[in-house]
Amino acid sequence: MPARYDLATTHLDPPFAVVDSAAFDANAAAMLQRAGGKPIRVASKSVRCRTLIQRALAMPGYAGVMAFTLAEALWLAETGTSDDILVAYPTADRGGLADLVKHADAITLMVDDPAQLDLIDAAVAPGSRPAFRLCLELDASWRPFGAHIGVRRSPLHSPAAVGEFARAIAARPGFTLVGVMGYEAQIAGLGDAQPGRRAYSRMVRFIQRRSVAELAERRAAAVAAVRRHAELEFVNGGGTGSLHLTTAESAVTELTAGSGLFGPTLFDGYSAWRPQPAALFALSVVRRPAPGIATVLGGGWIASGPAHGSRLPSPHLPAGLRLNSSEGAGEVQTPLLGPGADALRVGDRVWFRHAKAGELCEHVNELHLIDGDEVVDVLPTYRGEGKAFL
């Protein structure tokens, strides 16, 4: 494998990133199988390359995009990337709301608070615009005995609260409620078979079993409460780590996933399915400071989230390398230890995997698409197209 990647990229000087087309397509197909016939909306945050978003959308079974900001959604609509874009998070982008008038049929905004509606109305008066499409977000966290297990997103947890907000939207001019979304982070975003964390993994499996059952019942009740006030076009749920579970809910009509296309290291800790590593980046060995140590230039491409070793990039190829725990992945250099280090010479390449999917693309302007042992295309990332949305 390292020989194939090295052969394909001999003309390139690191740092650069590649996507293995066969692994990307295999991951996309596996996700569709796990979705059990329900369409998958592509999470653009996890890809950040328009060409690859469109590659996924071209596969039967993928439909629509979940964008992470309104500015990104407007750009995707303007460039013809998709005409069905759900913005995953509420927006306070007043300029973007004014521009939304031109793409109101293609873009759906996320809301969970009347204050967000007030902000939208203040930015673009209801009488001067078409009705903006809205999706109401249900808080999908599990709350046993008053605890909060999951991420802090929507304040709307109970079916009654969701139904009341839907009623308020229906009574307010300038808006059309078309969807409900709930992201079960404690199910989709937590690995249940993490290496070296046996007790933690058992706890995660317990949480997920209980949370799946509770959420299925509560989500069905919440959707029923919303349908009393709106004709819903979709009910969205899931993530790469929970496609096979969320698809079983009859109330859910579509799923969202994206990280599984690239197969970052955070998904190595899942027992149900581990995507193939499809996105990698290469760095050059520039120093041999001591026996058993090889140092590459750069490498500090740290993923977002809690400050934990799981957010560091991982040396992938050649085998037998690990980060130095006292230095980690550094901004300007990264020492690598292990039995594979002594075989490396100055000028050799080390292939790394990022901890999270799309964040890799914030560091490079292009992705080199590899088929076999050849680079068959060079694809601009969002950054390469001059876009940085967060």
Give the model confidence (pLDDT) of 292-303 as tens digits.
999 999 999 999
Residues 123 and 114: their CA atoms lie apart, in Å, by 14
User: pLDDT tens digits, residue range 42-61?
Assistant: 999 999 999 999 999 999 99
Listed residue (236, 253, 344) closest to 290, CA to CA: 344
Where is average pLDDT lowest: 62-76, 77-91, 203-217, 244-258?
203-217
10: amino acid identity, one letter: T
Given pLDDT bands bounded at 50, 70 and 90, which one contains residue 151? confident
How many angstroms separate the CA atoms of 174 and 117, rounded?
A: 10
Across the strands, what pairs with 86? Answer: 66, 108
pLDDT value at residue 197: 78
pLDDT at 1 over 60: no
The neighbouring-strand residues paired with 176 are: 133
Compute the mean pLDDT over every residue in the chain, rounded to the nearest whole number: 93
Lowest pLDDT segment from 113-122, 128-137, 265-274 = 265-274
In single-letter form, the type of residue at position 96 comes to G
Question: What is the average per-residue pLDDT within 262-291?
Answer: 93
**d(Cα 319, Cα 299) in Å, to the nearest integer?**
17
pLDDT tens track for 312-355: 999 999 999 999 999 999 999 999 999 999 999 999 999 999 99
Q: How far does the chain reach from its first CA to its final CA, in angstroms?
A: 34
Work out the pLDDT band at 228, boundaries 50, 70, 90.
Answer: very high
| pLDDT at site 193 | 66
Cα–Cα distance for residue pair 114/107, rounded to 1 Å: 19
Q: Quick one: pLDDT band at residue 201, thresholds 50, 70, 90? A: confident
Label residue 134 by pLDDT band (50, 70, 90). Answer: very high
Averaged pLDDT for residues 145-174: 92
CB 136 within 8 A of CB 156: yes
* Amino acid 2: pLDDT: 62
Residue 270 pLDDT more than 90?
no
Residue 217 to residues 29, 31, 310, Cα–Cα distance (Å) = 29, 24, 33
245 vs 216: CA distance, rounded Å: 10
Structure confidence at residue 88 as a pLDDT band (50, 70, 90)? very high
3-state secondary structure of 218: helix
